Structure 1
Amino acid sequence: MNRIGENAAYYKGERNIMTVDLSTKKFMFDWNNNHQITRVSITRIIAHEFSHSVLGTIPDNNATVIKTDAIMKSINNTRRATTDNYFDYEG
């Protein structure tokens, strides 16, 4: 966990590395709630980065988004659906 502005996960054989920025203020359209703008939760970020480290997928890989959506369905039923649904918002 950090506050340096980085969310990342790496799959390196026997050594998986994950870092999550707890101060991240990103948003997404929630496809399960009429595309309402919602803040990306720390839980979603952790699930997403964990998926990268376990699956070994590269950034911007839609398989990771789909896996994260499956995890989040049982937590708060939010759905990001696509890799480009992630943005800064000043609303």
Structure 2
Amino acid sequence: MIAFDTAPAAGDVSPGLLGFLVVAGLGFALYLLVKSMRKRISKIEVPSEAELRRQRNEARASAPSGSSEPVTPVVPPATPATPTTPTTPPNAP
């Protein structure tokens, strides 16, 4: 038979009750977060494919006779900010 030493050695440190309570608290918090997430996701209404096709066909029917697709606005891309300090070339004296 193999004998198991259950007593900790003199210099050993174990997580103890505090470590267990922290891990249990994190687990419980995770449970509550997942429960809340599932509740919020279940409230989201996703339109079916048939409903989307019907809306698209209605939009095409109500569009002006010259175009077959609804007009979408074109938004220009944002320009990057210009630096406020002047830059000097790398070989400048």
TM-score normalized by the length of structure 1: 0.20
Return the structure number with greater helix share. 2
Return the structure number with greater strand share. 1
